[in-house]
Amino acid sequence: MLHIAKATGIGGSERHLLDLLPALGEAGHDVRLCLLESPSHPIDALAQGFEDRGVPVSRLSIRGSADVRLVRRLHDVSARAQIVHTHLVHADIHAGMGVRTHRSRLPRLVTTIHSERRGDTLPARLMMRYLSRRFDRCIVISEAARVAAVGRLGFKDGVQIELIHYGVRVGECSDDLAAKRRGLVVHSRLVAGKNVDDVVRAFAALAEPDLTLTIVGDGEHRPLIEHVAQRLGVRSRVTMLGHVDDVWPVLYGGELWISMSETEGFGLALVEAMGAGLATICTDIPAHREVAAGSAVLVPVGDVEAATHALRRLLGDPSHRKKLGEAGSARAAAFSIERMARRTSQVYEAMLSGRSIAD
């Protein structure tokens, strides 16, 4: 089977694939990956990550949102595949146009909707509504993604759509780290919509001179976040680590985790924070509500004052913080990589046999 994904860096969907594809290989599937890359966003580290995990990678250049040359090349590279599985809008559209022009019933075509797709342009949404009929299945990672798949993209609920949550393999925690938990932690892409600058504002409003904030991740909003921290007088207490390969030591070293994101398809970072036993604060959006299921403190999007209040309350109540961390850890256990891979394999088997998963 051939997975096709458009990538510009390592975010939630890419980290998901770094877990899913090796797990599918271990389950006996012949898995290959074709990465679509823009010349302005080299993805050497991501490609190497897949190769290190035993996933063969090919790379094709994509130029613009409608690359006719790429459509032809995807037609060629998919010719021998039984299943083509696409990820993110550029892969969906180009593979949707190129893959299903083969005369045989193969390859079967499936996509995963990784977000609420609010960022799709109107032409992209219209194209996906046209192409959706070419897909045999549509995997959604949350109920929020299901709403997008049906309402924005035209997939048929109950016919094409299967819900499969992301899986997480929780890292190990040393006794030394567990004994030294301190400070706030954020791990996120530093881009528009993640609102990490609002986290800095809430952190500064606490006026706790001994408290620290550690930010893991990178992106075009990093200068903005650094500027906000400097302007509010907390830059010396904010550590910006950039991208790290292993986030677990950072998570296990913190007391509290917070996200002020205004939209999420799933909330992989939230599950990881819960899996590390951190008390979590996150925005009251559909994906966070679904994933946390009552085991996180929810605050309104954009409400820095509410976030500050939630932080102050948890920092001042170790007992409540401990209970919240334990509840989150129990909830995170429901999102396993093994279950994710098993359910994905069932989708593939159903597609090839022409039956529904429920059969």
pLDDT digits (tens, 9 = 90+) for 29-40: 999 999 999 888
Q: What does the pLDDT read at residue 104? A: 57
Nearest alpha carbon to residue 146 among 290, 343, 270: 290
Asked if the model's pLDDT at residue 279 lies above 70, the reply is yes
Structure tokens at 204: 């500064």
Share of the chain above pLDDT 90, in %: 78
Can you give the length of the chain in residues? 359
State residue 86 phi and psi, 5-degree precision. Answer: -100, 155
Q: What does the pLDDT read at residue 59? A: 95
Q: 306-348: per-residue pLDDT in tens?
A: 999 999 999 999 999 999 999 999 999 999 999 999 999 999 9
Q: What does the pLDDT read at residue 106? A: 72
Q: How confident is the model at residue 180 (pLDDT cuts 50, 70, 90)?
A: low
Asked if the model's pLDDT at residue 171 lies above 80, the reply is no
Asked if the model's pLDDT at residue 160 lies above 90, the reply is no
Ramachandran bin of 246, using left for φ above 0, alpha for ψ from -120 to 50, beta for the remaining angles: beta
Q: How confident is the model at residue 142 (pLDDT cuts 50, 70, 90)?
A: very high
**Three-state SS at 256:** strand
Contact 146, 157 (CB under 8 A): yes
Separation between Cα atoms, residue 308 and residue 280, nearest integer Å: 13
Structure tokens at 214: 């550690």
Contact 71, 86 (CB under 8 A): no
Query: How does DSSP assign 209-271, residue by residue?
Result: TT--EEEE---TTHHHHHHHHHHTT-GGGEEEEE--S--HHHHHT-SEEE---S--SS-HHHH
DSSP secondary structure code for residue 50 in this structure: H
Separation between Cα atoms, residue 91 and residue 105, nearest integer Å: 20
Separation between Cα atoms, residue 9 and residue 162, nearest integer Å: 27
Asked if the model's pLDDT at residue 191 lies above 70, the reply is yes
Q: How confident is the model at residue 357 (pLDDT cuts 50, 70, 90)?
A: low
Sorted by where each starts, the structural domains of the chain and their CATH numbers stand as: 2-167+336-353 (3.40.50.2000), 175-332 (3.40.50.2000)
Q: What does the pLDDT read at residue 353? A: 86
State residue 151 phi and psi, 5-degree precision. Answer: -75, -40
Average pLDDT over residues 65-79: 90
| Amino acid residing at 40 | S
Task: Identify the bridge partners of residue 280 per DSSP, sorted by sequence position.
Answer: 257
Q: What does the pLDDT read at residue 10? A: 83
Query: How does DSSP assign 73-139, residue by residue?
Result: HHHHHTTT-SEEEEESHHHHHHHHHHGGGSSSS-SEEEEEE-S--TT--HHHHHHHHHHGGG-SEEE
